[in-house]
């Protein structure tokens, strides 16, 4: 937290990369690594979506931490005996300590763990999704989309940086501000950017080009949590997502696209934010609403054209062990 009450995210991550040529000592190998996520976390949600879109389920296993954690780390309290079935650990913290016994930074998801050693390789969330799309191509499914096409990279990077600064991280700057001035500043930047996005998406189906790209993945994970959490819990309450026609239609379009909505568990999302953030919600009461079934309503965005997967194809259904509960059953 800055001296003026502004929330500052710690971005000091383990930046070791898993690459096709193994330049950092960790070559891409089917079955060697385990992606650890939490359904609740928007940053981890990105990695789960990209893994689904490019079809890496059979070569990169996924562990799912539960929605509630303490100051030590995310834990595997949803798994039998409270342990990840592949890594055999109760807390993600153990994998970070195997990498560095004196590790003193944040224990964050997503993280990719080297299964033979049980040590975290990387928790650099921004790089993880780019590398899943570019370094694992030899093992991607047939028809995997290109999420970071060369001809659009400069625009994708520009849009993604604006979205990160003002929206992805902006909601946290509102929620964790400790002064009125810091909150007011973050709130205005958030809504200025949301209004910019509302205008941008008024006549185009996707953020960049005419296909789904990395930029859409990054925006979606904040939008899908907006009304359920950020609007009230983080005081981002000028309007609800459902009151922004273009963004609401865009978010539903993505939600109904294979690989997006089938990674979302609203009950885990709400349980994490409302239970863990006791400084914001001291009672720990988790709201019952909003009703998530409106995410399946018609959006009409097909009329704007675009090809969701470009020259590729949609992914198949998720593996049975990774399926989320149907909407409205929580």
Annotated catalytic residue within 148, 172, 206, 250: 172
Of 9, 10, 63, give the one whose Cα is nearest residue 33: 63
Annotated catalytic residue within 33, 41, 174, 183: 41
Q: What is the dihedral of CA 166, 167, 168, 171, to 10 degrees?
A: 100
SS (H, E, C) the chain: CCCCCCCCCCCCCCECCCECCCCCCCECCCCCEEEEEECCCHHHHHHHHHHHHHCCCCCCEEEEECCCCCCCCCECCCCHHHCCCCCCCCECHHHHHHHCCCCCCCCCCCEEEECCCCEEEECCHHHHHHHHHHCCHHHCCCCCCCCCCHHHHHHHHHHHHHHHHHHHCHHHHHHCCCCHHHHHHHHHHHHHHHHHHHHHCCCCCCCCCCCCCHHHHHHHHHHHHHHHHHCCCCCCCCCCHHHCHHHHHHHHHHHCCCCCHHHCCHHHHHHHHHHHCCCCCCCCCCCCCCCHHHHHCCCCHHHHCCCCCCCCCCCCCCCHHHCCCCCCCC
Of 25, 27, 54, give the one whose Cα is nearest residue 139: 54
- How far is Cα 26 from Cα 17, in angstroms, rounded to an integer? 7
Specify whether 174 is catalytic: no
Residues with active-site annotation = 41, 172
């Amino acid at each position: 937290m800055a001296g003026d009450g502004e929330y500052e995210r710690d971005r000091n991550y383990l930046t070791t990369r898993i690459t096709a040529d193994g330049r950092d000592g960790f070559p891409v190998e089917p079955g060697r690594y385990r992606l650890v996520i939490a359904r609740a976390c928007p940053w981890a949600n990105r990695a789960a979506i990209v893994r689904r879109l490019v079809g890496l389920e059979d070569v990169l296993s996924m562990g799912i931490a539960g929605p509630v954690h303490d100051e030590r780390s995310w834990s595997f309290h949803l798994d039998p005996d409270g342990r990840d079935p592949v890594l055999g650990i109760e807390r993600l913290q153990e994998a970070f300590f195997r990498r560095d016994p004196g590790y003193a930074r944040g224990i964050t998801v997503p993280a990719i763990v080297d299964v033979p050693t049980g040590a975290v390789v990387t928790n650099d969330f921004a790089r993880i999704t780019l590398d899943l799309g570019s370094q694992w191509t030899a093992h991607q499914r047939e028809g995997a989309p290109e999420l970071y096409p060369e001809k659009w990279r400069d625009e994708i990077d520009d849009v993604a940086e604006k979205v990160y600064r003002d929206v992805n991280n902006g909601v946290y700057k509102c929620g964790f501000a400790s002064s009125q001035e810091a909150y007011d500043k973050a709130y205005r930047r958030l809504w200025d950017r949301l209004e910019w996005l509302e205008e941008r998406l008024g006549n185009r189906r996707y953020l960049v080009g005419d296909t789904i790209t990395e930029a859409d993945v990054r925006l979606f994970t904040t939008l899908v949590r907006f009304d359920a959490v950020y609007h009230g819990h983080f005081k981002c309450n000028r309007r609800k997502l459902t009151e922004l026609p273009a963004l609401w239609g865009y978010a539903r379009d993505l939600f109904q696209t294979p690989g997006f909505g089938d990674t979302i568990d609203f009950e885990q999302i709400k349980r994490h934010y409302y239970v863990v953030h006791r400084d914001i919600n001291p009672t720990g009461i988790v709201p019952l609403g909003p009703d998530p079934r409106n995410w399946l309503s018609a959006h009409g965005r097909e009329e704007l054209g675009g090809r969701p997967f470009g020259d590729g194809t949609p992914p198949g259904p998720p593996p049975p062990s990774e399926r989320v509960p149907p909407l409205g059953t929580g």
